[in-house]
Amino acid sequence: MLNVSKIWLTDSAVWIRTADGREASEPFARYPRLLHASKEERADYKCSPFGIHWPKIDEDLCFEGFLNK
């Protein structure tokens, strides 16, 4: 399990930073629900120890997937 210390959104991607300083992103273009969501819908996310969940658009991203490419 990754220890994620920061999550932030840009206009085109969601980014994470791990406690050991690694940064990674996932572009919204890979996830149609995120791509077509409003900024408000994207900003409304919940975090768990395993990933990020956007309840209004029913999308989930696992932290491990950010670094396993």
Ordered by start, the domain boundaries in the chain are 4-67
Report the predicted TM-score, pTM, of the whole model to 2 decimal places: 0.92
Cα angle for residues 62, 46, 64 (degrees, 5° grid): 15
Cβ neighbours, 10 Å, residue 40: 8
Rg (CA), the chain: 11
How far is residue 6's CA from residue 3's CA, in Å, rounded to a whole number? 9
pLDDT tens-digit readout, 1-56 = 789 999 999 999 999 999 999 999 999 999 999 999 999 999 999 999 999 999 99
Fold of 4-67: NE0471 N-terminal domain-like (3.30.2020)
Residue 41 CA to its chain's centroid (Å): 13
